[in-house]
Structure 1
């Protein structure tokens, strides 16, 4: 994972590979840029650490990882740390203590750093106005935005925009284009192949290595396109009705294609396994695919588990066409938004799943992965394999949607399963 080096004598922190050569005794390391900032260091102007992937270490406790996912989803935009702690069933004091111990920051500091770094990328990459950047990044006001940028980057937003380099600015025929940074290696060919084989007709498509999908933003339709960009980033092109809160759209897109997880610890652990080790050498950049929407991926898992691939595609297409909201004129085979749980309450084979979600009896985004897996298996029509596939794509690092016993691969079975399932990717890791 990325380790940031902070120099006590200059008060500056850098990403790996920066040309600065400080004395070793003056250097302090941090696993998160937010932790370096919380300790009073500012970002290097030469290596610009805000432009690299800032993933949380995969050995962090599951509780911390779940809290991070909720922060990424925007829980702290309109609520405090107490509400975040309540969502995962702990006290705010315990949550802060866990964040301090494992990340070196409080939840609020982590959230603020993410907003500020995203805003800095928008100032570099886009032509959005200052106010648009502020609200797109999740800040509640211009005053809050200006204060955070001055504290973290020691300059006002306009000054930061004036400093951007010519090569930073991204342009396209419509939409907002942004870089999705990752720490190499990353295998977009494998990820896009998985997404293509498992695409929901009418909602998702992959053509010429570009993944596209329909989304909703506060009830309004939008379109996302993700494709290769460079050795350390993908490119996201977003066509949205407005830019407010776009940080969460970008974060969800990154999670969908596996960029929000660091796999270094998992790869090191699995490399000694005689079956997985050679696969890691052959495809070191494989990441576990995520999901855009929890209910959507749960429906997909149940349908694909029960039916052959062609029949599953037909059923998913019918579900989308009959119960989804039509979005005309998009092209690329994209025609609808995926329907919500309420619309599918009486639709087989996902009627019971939809009913449980619609009535609030099944929460797909809270609780531990183990609890989610057990709860899903209690729902009629959801097999163990389907439940584990849902857990895997919602970020559970120890899911096992394959057959057989794989206890020796715990706690990193999700990555192992994806490596083993590449040969039958179209069948959804069957």
Structure 2
């Protein structure tokens, strides 16, 4: 977990490894950039902390982690903390108290900091115009964008663009290329193996260490490509119909490949286990994969629970061809965008799931136990647990055998076992 150091005498906060050497008595520490900014500090111009992964600690309460996932999905873009609390079944006051205690910020401050940091990366890495960056980052207006950037970075967006370094700009021969930062270690090879084994033909492919997939944004098709970048980042190339709201596309891509949470506590717990300790030592960078689309992951798990691997892949391919939205001319085996629940209510094997999701009886973002109980009305416990794992539950166990000693970090343990088996 990255800890940020803030210097009271300068009003600046830095990431680890910065060359600044302040006196220890003048330093306060924060786990998130947003918390340092809420306390009145501004980002260091030398180490540029907005360019590193600012993940939430994995020991944070499940309620906070669920709220963070909803913020990443954009829930606060068009609604307030009251709506976020209602979605989670708590009051906005209680949610603010939980965020303040565990993250050092309110939900609104957390979301605002994420938008500003993403915008700053776009200013550095791309040639998008100022207005395009404002709306790509989720700001409601240019005035709001300018005000936030001045408050957080003490400069206008144009001044920040002028400061970018020669090596920042990512040259692109098509699409928008962005860095997805992470705190090492991170095992991209293991992630590719996991995603390859569960790729939905026609929608996803993994070739030569590059993961590709189709997406749909407001009914318009797009394509994402993810691959190795450097020691502390992946590279994302996004081919999108428009740039508005691209921040949430990037955030969802990061969640898909497990960059939204660094499993420090989980890794430490498993490292002490006699069975999993050697696996962690051999591959410390394994992360828990997320999902681009919750319904898509649920459908895949239900089908794979019913059929042998080859038959399941064939059934998913047929389902995509019959019910999905064609996206021609892409190559790499990508042909369709995945269909939504309404399109699959009469589909073989997954019709009951689709109907329950379409009717709102199954909500694919809940707590582990209620989510699993609701899914067990349409599929097996094992499939329900795998769905929960991919949706961010940290204690899901989609495997046979005893596992109580691994509580509450069974999701990472399961990924280690699945990755080792493949």
**Range into which the TM-score falls when normalised by the shorter chain:** over 0.9
8 Å contact from structure 2 (residues 193, 419) kept in 1: no
Name the Cα RMSD after superposition.
Answer: 0.7
CA–CA separation in structure 2 for the residues paired with 1:157 and 1:37: 17
Aligned to 1:373: 372
One of 374, 390, 395 as aligned partner of 1:398 = 395
Q: CA deviation at 1:343?
A: 1.0
The secondary structure found in structure 2 opposite 1:370 is helix
CA–CA separation in structure 1 for the residues paired with 2:59 and 2:191: 23
The secondary structure found in structure 1 opposite 2:392 is coil
- Map residues 144-293 of structure 1 onto 2, 5 A cutoff: 144-293=144-293
- Map residues 330-409 of structure 1 onto 2, 5 A cutoff: 330-365=330-365, 367-379=366-378, 382-409=379-406
CA–CA separation in structure 2 for the residues paired with 1:207 and 1:405: 35
- Map residues 317-336 of structure 1 onto 2, 5 A cutoff: 317-336=317-336
Q: CA deviation at 1:424?
A: 3.6
The secondary structure found in structure 2 opposite 1:184 is coil
Q: CA deviation at 1:347?
A: 1.1
Matched, 1:296 2:293: no
CA–CA separation in structure 1 for the residues paired with 2:421 and 2:87: 36
| 1:205-244 deviation digits (Å, cap 9, x = unpaired) | 0111110000011110000000000000000000001000
Tell me the TM-score normalised to structure 2 length.
0.99
Gaps of 5+ in 2: none
Q: CA deviation at 1:193?
A: 1.3
CA–CA separation in structure 2 for the residues paired with 1:370 and 1:29: 35
CA–CA separation in structure 1 for the residues paired with 2:300 and 2:100: 38
The secondary structure found in structure 2 opposite 1:90 is coil
Q: CA deviation at 1:66?
A: 0.5
Q: CA deviation at 1:348?
A: 1.6
Aligned to 1:428: none
Aligned to 2:128: 128
| 1:361-395 deviation digits (Å, cap 9, x = unpaired) | 11112x3122111111122xx11110000000010
Q: CA deviation at 1:422?
A: 1.5
Q: CA deviation at 1:423?
A: 3.6
Tell me the TM-score normalised to structure 1 length.
0.97
One of 396, 409, 413 as aligned partner of 1:412 = 409
Runs of 4+ in 1 over 2 A off after TM superposition: none
The secondary structure found in structure 1 opposite 2:173 is coil
8 Å contact from structure 2 (residues 303, 349) kept in 1: yes
Aligned to 2:15: 15
Aligned to 2:419: 422
CA–CA separation in structure 2 for the residues paired with 1:421 and 1:133: 40
The secondary structure found in structure 2 opposite 1:138 is coil
| 1:235-286 deviation digits (Å, cap 9, x = unpaired) | 0000001000000000000000000011111111111110011110000000
Matched, 1:98 2:95: no
The secondary structure found in structure 1 opposite 2:335 is strand
The secondary structure found in structure 1 opposite 2:328 is strand
Gaps of 5+ in 1: 426-430
The secondary structure found in structure 2 opposite 1:331 is coil
Aligned to 1:45: 45
Q: CA deviation at 1:195?
A: 1.1
CA–CA separation in structure 1 for the residues paired with 2:327 and 2:268: 45
8 Å contact from structure 2 (residues 170, 177) kept in 1: yes
| 1:321-379 deviation digits (Å, cap 9, x = unpaired) | 000010001111000010111111111211110110111111112x3122111111122
Matched, 1:65 2:65: yes
Aligned to 1:30: 30
CA–CA separation in structure 1 for the residues paired with 2:293 and 2:344: 15
